[in-house]
């Protein structure tokens, strides 16, 4: 177990690195055992601007970095909103690690990219029944992106997904997309 003293010292290093613009030190902090420390580093990196994008992408693509570090790097990329992140996020949506796929599915909603719809459907279809959080993230992102083309798919999710929460998200997504479709006169 991590001591309070250790956590405090790492937080101080993260704050100092953020103030100094030390992206490398913040990237290293994404590998901390304590999730709150990874989160602090993620938030700091999300404010660093374009210089942090490539190092964050490298973390996302490094399977040895650990799933949590990769997930937090994905969240920092979302905060930065840089289009260079889209391709690595689409790849992360196909990752072996369910946690990485889930973060990628959640984050793709922040980028208006035509390839996201197919990637999100693939994320949903790949995940087994035990990973409802990943399927739910995919469904919610389809709705957030306004993917009207996925309506039939989402109606199938409402009918067939074994998880009530995912079904509820799909129902909300269908309602929102149908409303958007009606508003656009389609």
- What is the CATH classification number for the domain harbouring 34? 1.25.10.10
Residues 61 and 127 in one domain: no
Residue 1 in domain: no
Distance between CA 85 and CA 107 in Å, rounded? 10
- 13 and 80 in a single domain? The answer is yes
- Asked whether residue 75 falls in the same domain as residue 139, the answer is no
Q: What is the pTM of this model?
A: 0.85
Residues 32 and 77 in one domain: yes
- Whether 33 and 74 map to the same domain: the answer is yes
Task: Note whether 137 and 82 are same-domain residues.
Answer: no
Asked if 124 and 58 sit in the same domain, the reply is: no
Among candidate residues 25, 21, 31, 88, the one with its CA nearest the CA of residue 54: 88
Q: Is 62 left (phi over 0), alpha (psi -120 to 50) or beta?
A: beta
Largest CA-CA distance found in the chain, in angstroms, rounded: 60
Query: Is there a contact between 139 and 170 (Cβ–Cβ < 8 Å)?
Result: yes
Q: What are phi and psi of 46, to 5 degrees?
A: -65, -10
Range of the domain at 155: 98-105+113-186
Question: Where a domain ends, among 42, 60, 92?
Answer: 92
Judgement on whether residues 72 and 144 belong to the same structural domain of the protein: no
- Amino acid 186: pLDDT: 60
Q: What is the DSSP letter of 34?
A: S
pLDDT of residue 182: 87
Q: Are residues 25 and 63 in the same domain?
A: yes
Q: What angle do CA 102, 114, 68 make, to 5 degrees?
A: 20
Specify the pLDDT at position 159.
97
User: Is the residue at 2 inside a domain?
Assistant: no
Q: How many domains does the chain contain in total? A: 2
Residue 98 near residue 134, CB atoms below 8 Å: yes
List the chain residues with pLDDT less than 50. Answer: none
Q: At CA 117, angle to CA 111 and CA 119, rounded to 5?
A: 95
- Mapped onto helix, strand or coil, the DSSP state of residue 97 is coil
The residue from 29, 57, 92 where one domain ends is: 92
Asked if residue 3 belongs to a domain, the reply is no
């Amino acid at each position: 177990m991590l001591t309070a003293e250790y956590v405090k010292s790492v937080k101080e290093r993260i704050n100092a690195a953020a103030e100094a613009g030390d992206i490398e030190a913040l990237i290293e902090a994404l590998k901390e055992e304590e999730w709150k420390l990874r989160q602090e580093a993620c938030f700091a990196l999300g404010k660093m601007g374009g210089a942090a994008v490539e190092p964050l992408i490298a973390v996302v693509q490094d399977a040895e970095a650990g799933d949590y570090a990769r997930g937090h790097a994905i969240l920092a990329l979302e905060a930065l909103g840089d289009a260079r992140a889209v391709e690595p996020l689409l790849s992360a949506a196909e990752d072996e690690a369910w946690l990485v796929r889930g973060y990628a599915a959640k984050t793709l909603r922040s980028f208006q990219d035509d390839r996201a719809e197919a990637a999100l459907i693939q994320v949903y279809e790949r995940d087994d029944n035990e990973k409802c959080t990943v399927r739910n993230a995919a469904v919610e992102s389809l709705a957030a992106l306004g993917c009207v083309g996925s309506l039939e798919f989402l109606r199938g999710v409402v009918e067939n997904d074994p998880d009530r929460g995912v079904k509820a998200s799909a129902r909300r997504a269908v309602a929102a997309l149908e409303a958007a479709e009606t508003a656009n006169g389609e």
